[in-house]
Amino acid sequence: MSEAKEDLPKTIRAVTLTGAGGPEVLRLSELPCPRPGPGQVLIAVRAAGVNRPDIAQREGRYPVPPDASPVPGLEVVGHIAALGDGVDGLAVGQQVCALVHGGGYASHALADAGTVMPVPDGISLEQAAALPEVALTVEFNMMQRAALRGGETVLIHGGSSGIGSHAIERAKAQGATVIVTAGNAAKCAYCRDLGADLAINYHEQDFVAETLSFTSGRGADVVLDMVGGDYVSRNLQALAADGRYALISLQGGRHIAADLEPLLRRRLSLIGSTLRPLPPARKAALAADVIQQVWPLVAGGQIRPRIFQSFPLEQVAQAHALMDSGQHMGKIVLTLD
């Protein structure tokens, strides 16, 4: 199949980095417009989600994979501008959202065809830009690898974050009881509004004690953790027998001293993963599962992407400063004309 495309610009607007550091290292630049290779799609971007890995990349803590764009950004929404050779089932002009392998902070971005998804019914394009990364992350880790089932209890750390917000509603749609941690009273209230059964202010309360009390000493069946560090040993204490612990980020540190005896005695499972290194075929299968399992929940209103604030691409530094502050609840999105 020959490449199908609309008229493409010679250059695109894209965010680049002058070095490692704070938001001040972000620059809006002109780069050559990428062309899709076999199995790829070029998307004319209308909005892009801002995620923690983007912050880590900016700070020099998250090396860009050799095959990835150095431009930050892992999720976009827009319309298909060009199709690479061998891409079937998609059309130029079609509105889509996608998980991308970097390059999302730009007016055009490449995506593997397998991670290009239709925009769910009933939401805006900005909301759709906030979905791919969180939906695939939560589905892979909480629903598939940790196998959360209806009637079980899940402890979600960072409940007011983009991932946490989605995980609360996804778990409730599954019929689970949801416990979350958050950093202040307003964030706890936000989580309860999303459906959390118990919201714990981790600055004022011991989440292990609160979880055990709420579950009558049994503990949570699943933990979804973005913190790592000293949370690991505490999460093991908060798990029920046969519990599953999904560790998806290391914001609290990567090195720990933990008592592993509970893993053996209570048959606990510690599961670690990050989405970006998954092989393309696995990402494509995961995206297909999300379309089948999650998109109907979005269209039906059981899951609603929460946008805390949108910024034009030119204000990317302000968007990163907001994420650095930790004051947001839900997602931060960059928009393009």
When computed from its CA atoms, the radius of gyration of the chain, rounded to whole angstroms, is 20
The mean per-residue pLDDT over the stretch 217-241 comes to 93
Selection from 57, 46, 142, 52 nearest residue 97 by Cα: 46
Asked if 335 and 107 count as a contact pair (C-beta separation under 8 A), the reply is no
What CATH number does the domain located at 11-133+278-335 have?
3.90.180.10
**Is the predicted pLDDT of residue 298 greater than 90, yes or no?**
yes
The angle formed by the CA atoms of residues 281, 47 and 22, to the nearest 5 degrees, is 95
**Is the predicted pLDDT of residue 110 greater than 80, yes or no?**
yes
Residue range(s) occupied by CATH 3.90.180.10 in the chain: 11-133+278-335
> Rounded to an integer, what distance in angstroms lies between the CA atom of residue 254 and that of residue 197?
30
Asked if 165 and 184 count as a contact pair (C-beta separation under 8 A), the reply is no
Q: How confident is the model at residue 150 (pLDDT cuts 50, 70, 90)?
A: very high
Residue 122 CB neighbour total at 10 angstroms:
11
Q: Which two tokens stand for residue 285?
A: 């299968």
Higher pLDDT, 159 or 252: 159
Q: How confident is the model at residue 249 (pLDDT cuts 50, 70, 90)?
A: confident
The pLDDT of residue 1: 39
Q: Which residues pair with 225 in a beta bridge?
A: 247
Q: How confident is the model at residue 3 (pLDDT cuts 50, 70, 90)?
A: low
Average pLDDT score over the chain:
95
**Is the predicted pLDDT of residue 245 greater than 90, yes or no?**
yes
Higher pLDDT, 273 or 196: 196
The pLDDT of residue 2: 43
As separate numbers, helices (DSSP H) first and strands (DSSP E) second, the chain gives 11, 16
Phi and psi (nearest 5°) for 230? Answer: -75, -5
Higher pLDDT, 255 or 206: 206
Q: How confident is the model at residue 255 (pLDDT cuts 50, 70, 90)?
A: confident
Q: What's the CATH number of domain 146-272, 3.90.1150.10, 3.40.190.10, 3.60.15.10, 3.40.50.720?
A: 3.40.50.720
Asked if 171 and 180 count as a contact pair (C-beta separation under 8 A), the reply is no
Q: How confident is the model at residue 256 (pLDDT cuts 50, 70, 90)?
A: confident
Predicted TM-score of the model (pTM): 0.94
304: three-class secondary structure by DSSP: coil
| Share above pLDDT 70 across residues of the chain, in percent, rounded to a whole number | 99
Residue range(s) occupied by CATH 3.40.50.720 in the chain: 146-272
Q: How confident is the model at residue 207 (pLDDT cuts 50, 70, 90)?
A: very high
